[in-house]
Amino acid sequence: SQTIHQWPATLVQPVGSPLSLECTVEGTSNPNLYWYRQAAGRGLQLLFYSVGIGQISSEVPQNLSASRPQDRQFILSSKKLLLSDSGFYLCAWSIGGDYGYTFGSGTRLTVV
């Protein structure tokens, strides 16, 4: 069966520090991968998606970036965090079609 792993679960980082969140999927090949952010009390905002290794599409301009160095690995990064980067970051995968997404358990990031 397919599983998705996301870590860390919680993170407190100072303003201006770098960020690296990792997401890996097991049990499937060539999944579509997504990074979403959910600010407190808000809806989910799509940040990046990838349909293959090295293929990244950005949905919202910001100081974040994403990379997909391997088929089932998706990384969200920042060189310098802002206070506004605080939120609940969710990685998700899909096989396409009408099957929806499966989300990882998320990383709760607080920038202080």
Partner 1 sequence: RKEVEQDPGPFNVPEGATVAFNCTYSNSASQSFFWYRQDCRKEPKLLMSVYSSGNEDGRFTAQLNRASQYISLLIRDSKLSDSATYLCVDQAAGNKLTFGGGTRVLVKP
| Binding interface with partner 1 (CB under 8 A) | 32, 34, 36, 42-44, 46, 49, 88, 90, 94, 96-98, 100-106, 108
Q: Which is nearer to partner 1, 34 or 74 (CB)?
A: 34
Burial class of residue 38, CB neighbours in 10 A (0-12, 13-18, 19+)? middle
Minimum CB separation of residue 103 from partner 1 in Å reads: 4
* Cα 54 to Cα 70: distance, rounded to the nearest angstrom: 8
Q: Are strands 32-38 and 19-26 parallel, antiparallel or unpaired?
A: unpaired
Q: Which is nearer to partner 1, 50 or 78 (CB)?
A: 50
Q: Which is nearer to partner 1, 15 or 60 (CB)?
A: 60
Minimum CB separation of residue 93 from partner 1 in Å reads: 11
Q: Which three-class secondary structure state does DSSP give residue 84? A: helix
